[in-house]
Structure 1
């Protein structure tokens, strides 16, 4: 790292690495762990990195009006300018003088005099002239793309899927901070007991309107709480709990969690099982390292006696399991993750329409392979953390078209989420309940 270890300089480092393919959350965790920053500067670093990524297309649009069209700008220089614009436009309490001074120091520390002059000139021009009005963009899709920093292909896909009004509503929420939610471990506690204990520890707690075992928690990170340490709760988004609710687990069920890591849904399934009644969830993941993580989480949550985790590609279940083995199967499939944009803001820039088409083939292959392992009258739940029909309803429809021995059944949840909907499948958009976006479908194997 450069000699200048400040929140802003480290933000430039992090964003430069993210531009090269690194994950923002991992970069931040690593940097903060090895830094000497105080708490306030750590918060500033986190705010600048996530905020700049969230508003990147908007900031790039503004910046393009102050740089010549063909001018080559090094990535770290561009990031220095983008974080400066972000602070000027989105952070009320930071004076421009402080922003300018540190940007110029970063330019001096890393580059030559020409770069320092360039950075100084651009920032003073922005300060003097102001940024251009996005409402001047005549193309409506481009205007939405720039306003909400969402690639145009994603805007178009959503418009086709849910219409202009709902698309705008979704876009308005994706750059808002994600709420902190926890799942109470039903194997050892109750929602009421966990709520009381968290409130006694100083947290502000609300019972979820989305998931039966969920609480919304304001305050310190919930994974610092005693309840997390002793396995009474785990960190999980409310909408991510709905696929397991849709399985309607019975205590003695044999369950397959086909794409299980890191084990949030595996342990949720396990909490509803009774090993004395023969209840067991078999959890699969491709990688041994992730299988160990599933086992570790199961142990922390006191459900290891009803979890069998193994390294196996779900497309190769024929190698391990006989047909008609499981009462319930969950395929929480690998997907584009577009529903997680609030937590992983760079996802929107990394994905392409081709990615969704490629993933669709993997999703269908997994469903085809595991479907033979389900008992007659058993339930197969297919879920994703994306909100794109290509990976959701289109996959379900294609699977049903080639598997006439399966039928779609209506997804039901503990709290009756969106029970007035006209579809059997359930799509949760980020603006519905201020949660991650999620898709849940349930299919039954015919007798």
Structure 2
């Protein structure tokens, strides 16, 4: 294979991208988009490249477990050579339509082009050894929790945390689900079209569309890239995960209300709030100027700019900018560890620690403290995160209520009455429940004067 053609091949490009992701902390989605554009990859090659990059990131602990016995001096192994092996093993184990010969031949060619003759011989030898010996079973790992960590390719601390919170059976189910491909979902902009109309328009553009078990506002879409569709560009659908739609759905936004979206960027929930308003307004805050601009752009595309007031402000400064009791409803979609998004953003599980989660819980509580006074008597404060750890979810709510007896937690309700038989007041959606993102929602009502 000529060098020029090889260097534009999905396997070669996957090694380049993954080396940057693992060693330099590059964002996989940005690196992928830039690479696909730069090399003008066709649909087939772009799909394979995307599969290799996300697949290796998702499965890296498992892949490294399999590779380890074949590398005698790991400290001397160049980063890109290790990545080359991980990409090869991933194809052998998870992509059954790719012949072993093709995987071996191109991996050896990449080693030859990127390295020297000694590297090529080393890579050839290791690959042949893997073929002869096969990959070791995870059954060799005696400790059950450690074995689950390797099998699910999830850090041990997070596996232990999940088992402690939801039990081994549920933890296994969650961890099995996060390595599945995420659904592509959209929220229908009911200001412009009905769910039926949106479905018909997307189908007319060649998409396969099914309804969602999570919310009546969502559609699951496959067979193409939604942001390239006319329906998306017209603002009739917004790309958003189903679970993320539930926070605003639980707020029951109606007509003339004054609403604060305290952590609003990029504006998905802001535009959803605006869908329920008539003469009301949603003030949408973000600490960063460029993100405030993004909120405005998304409001314009959704054709709800007249209902949205974007503003640059740290949510922890709300009390200095807004009057007490100014808002009927306040949403705090708080900054969080994002551990409910592991199916969609697999690198999160390797970059976050338990300490990160603990530190975030302090910020989350500070934001709730800051917005509390701006909620009117009888109004509602809704708290949500896209994580599944209780220390960022119900524990934060419980700590807030201990400091603010003027609020009480009420049961979170959704249009489809999800988990209606649960004992908890808050609603936790785990990634395995509906194959949507993990999410938490709590609804708090501010008591009226004279209420107990």
TM range (shorter): over 0.9
Q: Distance in 2 between matches of 1:220 and 1:39?
A: 10
Q: Secondary structure at the match of 2:428?
A: strand
After the TM superposition, which of the residue ranges 233-242 and 97-106 deviates more from structure 2?
97-106
CA apart distance, 1:77: 0.9
Quote how far apart the aligned CAs of 1:180 are.
1.2
**Which among 265, 270, 275 is matched to residue 271 of structure 1?**
275
Aligned to 1:419: 420
- Larger mean CA deviation between 294-303 and 3-12 belongs to 3-12
Alignment deviations for residues 239-278 of structure 1 (CA, whole Å, 9 cap, x no partner)? 0000001111111110000100000000000011012xxx
Match of 1:175? Answer: 179
**1:224 CA displacement:** 2.1
- Residue range with higher mean Cα deviation, 3-12 or 408-417: 3-12
Are the aligned partners of 2:341 and 2:437 in contact in 1 as well (CA < 8 Å)? yes
The alpha-carbon deviation at position 114 of structure 1 amounts to 2.1
Q: How does 1:27-106 map to 2 (within 5 A)?
A: 27-68=31-72, 70-106=74-110
1:118 and 2:122 correspond: yes
Q: Which residue of 192, 196, 202 corresponds with 1:192?
A: 196
Alpha-carbon displacement from aligned partner over 1:321-368 (angstroms, at most 9, x marks no partner): 111110000000000101111111111100000000110111011010
In the alignment, which residue of structure 2 is the partner of 1:207? 211
Counterparts of 1:344-363 in structure 2 under 5 Å? 344-363=345-364
Residues 6, 110 of structure 2: 8 Å contact kept: no
Residue 20 (structure 2) aligned to one of 17, 23, 31:
17
Q: Does the residue aligned with 1:378 lie in a helix, a strand or coil? A: strand
Q: What 5-or-longer segments of structure 1 have no aligned partner?
A: none
The structure-2 alpha-carbon separation of the partners of 1:140 and 1:417, relative to structure 1 and needing over 3 Å to count, comes to same
Structure 2 residue aligned with 1:108, among 105, 112, 115?
112
Where do residues 177-256 of structure 1 align in structure 2 (5 Å cutoff)? 177-256=181-260
> C-alpha separation between the residues in 2 aligned to 1:438 and 1:293?
23
* Cα distance change of structure 1 residues 413 and 77 upon mapping to structure 2, 3 Å threshold: same
Deviates more, 1:117-126 or 1:168-177: 117-126
C-alpha displacement of 1:319? 2.8
Scaled by the length of structure 2, what TM-score is found?
0.96
User: Are 2:441 and 1:440 equivalent residues in the alignment?
Assistant: yes
Deviates more, 1:365-374 or 1:313-322: 313-322
In the other structure, the counterpart of 2:318 is: 317
70-79 or 86-95: which moved more? 70-79
CA positional deviation for 1:69:
5.7
Identify the range of structure 1 (215-224 vs 349-358) with the bigger mean alpha-carbon deviation: 215-224
SS at match of 2:7: coil
With structure 1 as the length reference, what TM-score do the two structures score? 0.97
Deviation at 1:377, TM superposition (A): 1.0
Q: Is the 8 A contact 2:6 2:12 kept in 1?
A: no
2:8 to 5, 8, 11: 5
Offset of residue 2 of structure 1: 11
Instruction: State the superposition RMSD in angstroms.
Output: 1.3
TM-superposed deviation, 1:197:
2.0
CA distance in 2, matches of 1:144, 1:305: 51
Structure 1 residue 306 corresponds to structure 2 residue 277: no
Secondary structure of 1:65's aligned partner: helix
Question: 2:447, 2:119 → 1: CA distance?
Answer: 68
65-74 vs 38-47, which moves further: 65-74
SS in 1 for 2:361: helix
Report how many residues are paired. Answer: 444
Distance in 2 (CA, whole Å) between partners of 1:172 and 1:3 is 35
Cα deviation, residue 167, structure 1: 0.4
Partner SS, residue 382 of structure 2: strand
Deviations for 1:367-389, whole angstroms, at most 9, x for unmatched residues? Answer: 10011111011110100000111
Name the CA distance, whole Å, in 2 between partners of 1:178 and 1:209.
Answer: 15
2:412 partner SS = coil
Q: Tell me if 1:376 matches 2:377.
A: yes
Post-superposition Cα deviations, 1:188-224, rounded to whole Å, max 9, x if no partner, equal 1111211222223332222212112111112212222
Relative to structure 1, is the Cα distance of residues 61 and 282 closer, same or farther in structure 2, using a 3 angstrom cutoff? same
What secondary structure, in the 3-state scheme, does the structure 1 residue paired with 2:324 have? coil
